[in-house]
Amino acid sequence: MMSSMSLSRMLRAASVCRTMSTATKLTAVEVNDKTGIATVTLSRPPINALNVELLHDLYQSIKEIENNKSRGLILTSSNDKVFSAGLDINEMYRPDKDRARLLWTKLQDVWLALYGCALPTAAAINGHAPAGGCLLATSCEYRVILPQCRIGLNEIQLGLVPPIFCMFNFLNVLPRRVAERALVQGRIFTTEQALQIGLVDDVASSKEKALEKCSQFIATFAQTNPLARSLTKLKFRGADLQRFESERTNELESFLEFIDHPQMQEDLGIYLEGLKKKNRN
């Protein structure tokens, strides 16, 4: 029989972390009642490829956390090797046109919600983060990565023009010259390189330690007026958000035109096949 001691310990533990009522299927949201920090875990096996549904759930989770006045938001992954593989290439290869439109619109919504989030945001990058995975991480204010990971915006290597929000994210984190070169070369960085150029702020030896460092970052704002903090953040990011709004329709149409091109379809097919072949050999 369970002793009253262990029962009370369990009840105490249960009261520290609670799952948000509207936690969705492809993202799990957990709020630490002690710190008020919400953790969003990307949970679309095997590699958190961003499809319409995951982007939808992620957007809902960010908005929910923001509206519930949490103290901060940490983004992480349920996969211990991959933070996110970026956009689901199956959504772009031989796509259903309406779904492709929805995909890009939802990606734009997620970027707006995360980059413009009023709360302090941090990414515990517990695995590889190419392309859209890197976009999510660099939309946050602080990043901790694990050893032996790869991170970067490699769109150009797939023949894709990096959208404008990729540029904003890199310019917000890296010196201009480094940001431009990384984007035009489609560089994917190792953990050490990412730390050295400042693409990430810190390295942690485990997911738990990465989450702890993210919480510590968010705790640095404990004594700061939340409204003053969020308005100051907006002063830095507002021009990007405005420029994005003025270009979002054009970017959506460019994306649809781009993936409609026969050569692009052929290239995406080859790329996708290459990823699958890797597992067959």
Ligand X SMILES: CC/C=C\C/C=C\C/C=C\C=C\CC(=O)SCCNC(=O)CCNC(=O)[C@H](O)C(C)(C)COP(=O)(O)OP(=O)(O)OC[C@H]1O[C@@H](n2cnc3c(N)ncnc32)[C@H](O)[C@@H]1OP(=O)(O)O
Site for ligand X contains 138 (CB under 6 A)? no
CA 233 to CA 217: how far, in whole Å? 15
CA 247 to CA 245: how far, in whole Å? 5
Quick one: tokens of 159? Answer: 């023949």
Q: Binding residue for ligand X (CB under 6 A) from 72, 116, 120, 130? A: 130
Site for ligand X contains 89 (CB under 6 A)? yes
Given the residues 66, 91, 141, 155, select the one marked as catalytic: 155
Quick one: tokens of 12? Answer: 């105490």
Site for ligand X contains 254 (CB under 6 A)? yes
Q: Tell me, yes or no, if 132 is annotated catalytic.
A: yes
Q: Tell me, yes or no, if 66 is annotated catalytic.
A: no
142/244 with CB nearer ligand X: 244
Kind of pairing between the strands at 142-145 and 129-130: unpaired
* Contact in structure between 255 and 163 (CB atoms under 8 Å): yes
CA 28 to CA 201: how far, in whole Å? 25
Site for ligand X contains 255 (CB under 6 A)? yes
Q: Tell me, yes or no, if 266 is annotated catalytic.
A: no
Rg (CA), the chain: 19
CB of 182 to ligand X, least distance (A): 15
C-alpha distance from residue 223 to each of 62, 71, 182, 201, 226 (Å) = 23, 11, 36, 22, 9
Q: Closest CB to ligand X belongs to which residue?
A: 86
120/132 with CB nearer ligand X: 132
Residues identified as active-site: 87, 132, 154-155
Q: Site residues (CB under 6 A) for ligand X?
A: 46-47, 49, 81-82, 85-90, 128, 130-132, 154-155, 160-161, 163, 251, 254-255, 258, 275-276, 278-279
